[in-house]
Amino acid sequence: MSLLRDLIVTAGDALRLSNDLLRYRLEAQAQTVKRTVRRVGVFLTLAAMAALLAGTGVGFILYGIFVLVAQQTGLVAAGLLVGFGLLVLALIVFLLGRSVASRPPNG
């Protein structure tokens, strides 16, 4: 009878240890996931801020180009020239992106 009792106690202890180990591993994985999500969140926030600053910078550069062209040609012509130039640039970027996207993968 004592041997059976010892076996049951040992099995219970093994189950408790297994449960504790599993809980520890899950907590460690949860902490890793939280850390990763936090890093990605910080990266996305900083990337959005960088994009906003870059967009503002591009806006000022375009305004400077507009002012330079407007001094030479007048406001209406400058608006048409700068706008047309931006449309041509957008078309080139679009066509380049479409070309890259339609290429078969290398690997």
The domains of the chain are located at 2-102
- pLDDT at position 106 is 76
4 versus 70: the higher-pLDDT residue is 70
Angle between helices 2-73 and 75-102 (to 10 degrees): 140
Residue-wise DSSP of 36-100 = HHHHHHHHHHHHHHHHHHHHHHHHHHHHHHHHHHHHHH-HHHHHHHHHHHHHHHHHHHHHHHHHH
Band the pLDDT of 89: cuts 50, 70, 90.
very high
Please name the residue that has the structure tokens 């902490």. 31
pLDDT > 90 fraction of the chain, expressed in percent and rounded: 64
Please name the residue that has the structure tokens 């939280």. 34
Q: What is the pLDDT of residues 31-60, one digit of tens each?
A: 999 999 999 999 999 999 999 999 999 999
- pLDDT at position 102 is 86
